[in-house]
Structure 1
């Protein structure tokens, strides 16, 4: 076992979730060495061709990662890890929502087709009951632009945004990609709709948190109306201009939004979850040309976080 590889305890937790067969009914190469190879690349950000020989042929590691990003296997493994934690009562359902911008490397440019309808990997179909990773993008918010590969221009150049919901123990529960110039507020609904933790045995997946915490970027009437309609308590501060507008309207302005200052201090959990994700260098900088492959990289990093906490 090399530095940074999965420990025996982590591997024992992950092994039971893994698919058994390979393509066309064949057998996969050794799962542990390949997954450790993916982990090495995601952790260090090296080029695939520079993977150490102890992980086997770099093409095998790269193709496995690309295939499992396309067919939803990484997302399936993340869901199973979350299910096991939820069954043990180790998920804090005070959920915080935020986003982070990621700079796209020059190697991320040049994808041949940026249409989101393109099949991500030849001969691969998404798993049943899984959301197609290519379509897990948010709704436009000012500026428009194509969504296909989730690249947008902002102050930092070409960037992509990771929107996420994190539990009270700083672990990502739901992930969403948008171009870097998209606003945060309009993505609240899209992020929460990605939140789905299956249950062991009978029962629907859990999709509703006990509480939602977010900063002022999410303080719109539409977001508050959506949370009230779903019966989700929320702690979101009101912007100064909104307070002034409400006061100016007098009795027609309505009552002020409730705000628990002490509970709001817990919102730092999503910031710490972002710091954990960006500890993986292939997440902190996007090198992949295709959005679905980068989403697989982020999902894999989230899986490792769940295995190690």
Structure 2
């Protein structure tokens, strides 16, 4: 095993989750292809600069792009979560947050306006302009052990609170037996950026407790209204101390240079890269 490659234990866990490819000339083993993908997102190099030991770079890129469009890594991530949930290994004290990722100039060279012919590719390719230039934002929900449960890719200027519901709706852990996927959480922990009536009402309707600090302006507005302002939302400082878990999860994801800086031109490919990195975090925690 070389540096940045899957161990035997990790490949034994991931092999059943990845579709097998029986065609291709010259034929390259699936493990060799996946190792090439991992090496690419771990180091952030160009596809053309992949070492020859992973086979033709066109084969690795084509397979990665096919997996990205088919949602292979997203389904694999859900399957490994399903196995962990069946074993009682998921802590449903969920934390949500976001992080800004600087987009490299190569990521902006899409060559055309619009999202192309695929309806699932956003027109802006999840690239936004901010003070720092072109940026992308990763919205992440992780369990109490710091492992990703769901992610959402948006332009960098998108506010956290507007994406919270869409992010939480992406948490769908399938059952190993009959039954609907699990979507209900025990509790959601988030910072002040997520303090809004809409999100609190959404969580209340789903029967999910939340620990979100109230913004100063919201507190003043409630005080100014007197009795009509209502009671302050419940807030447990002891539980809120666990919010650093999601920050540590981001720290592990950004250990992949291809995640810390976006080089992918399309949002579909970048989301697939983040999903693959998340899959590796799960494989290493089991």
Q: TM-score, normalised on structure 1?
A: 0.88
Q: Which runs of 5+ in 2 are unaligned?
A: none
- Kept in 2, the 8 Å contact 1:20–1:28? The answer is no
Work out the CA distance in 2 between the residues paired with 1:159 and 1:293: 15
Per the alignment, do residues 21 and 39 of structure 1 end up closer, same or farther by CA in structure 2, a change over 3 Å counting? closer
Partner of 1:19: 19
Partner of 1:3: 3
Q: Return the offset for 1:115.
A: 3.2
SS in 2 for 1:245: helix
Partner of 1:275: 251
Count of aligned residue pairs for this structure pair: 285
Per the alignment, do residues 178 and 114 of structure 1 end up closer, same or farther by CA in structure 2, a change over 3 Å counting? farther
Q: Return the offset for 1:21.
A: 4.6
| 1:145-294 equivalence runs, <5 A | 147-294=123-270
Q: Return the offset for 1:49.
A: 1.1
Q: Return the offset for 1:245.
A: 0.7
Per the alignment, do residues 214 and 32 of structure 1 end up closer, same or farther by CA in structure 2, a change over 3 Å counting? same
Partner of 2:42: 43
What is the CA deviation profile of residues 282-309 of structure 1, one whole-angstrom value per residue up to 9, with x for unaligned ones? 0000001111011111111111111111
SS in 2 for 1:16: helix
Partner of 1:139: none
Work out the CA distance in 2 between the residues paired with 1:225 and 1:15: 41
Q: Return the offset for 1:116.
A: 4.1
Q: Return the offset for 1:11.
A: 0.7
- Kept in 2, the 8 Å contact 1:102–1:159? The answer is yes
Q: Return the offset for 1:14.
A: 0.9
Partner of 2:91: 92
Work out the CA distance in 2 between the residues paired with 1:27 and 1:14: 23
What is the CA deviation profile of residues 221-262 of structure 1, one whole-angstrom value per residue up to 9, with x for unaligned ones? 111011101111000000111111100100000110000000
What is the CA deviation profile of residues 100-156 of structure 1, one whole-angstrom value per residue up to 9, with x for unaligned ones? 000000001121345346228xxxxxxxxxxx5x36xxxxxxxxxxx5301111121
Per the alignment, do residues 27 and 222 of structure 1 end up closer, same or farther by CA in structure 2, a change over 3 Å counting? farther
Work out the CA distance in 2 between the residues paired with 1:96 and 1:274: 12
- Kept in 2, the 8 Å contact 1:114–1:149? The answer is no
- Kept in 2, the 8 Å contact 1:20–1:27? The answer is no
Work out the CA distance in 2 between the residues paired with 1:268 and 1:305: 17
Work out the CA distance in 2 between the residues paired with 1:271 and 1:281: 17
Q: Which runs of 5+ in 1 are unaligned?
A: 121-131, 136-146
Partner of 2:101: 102
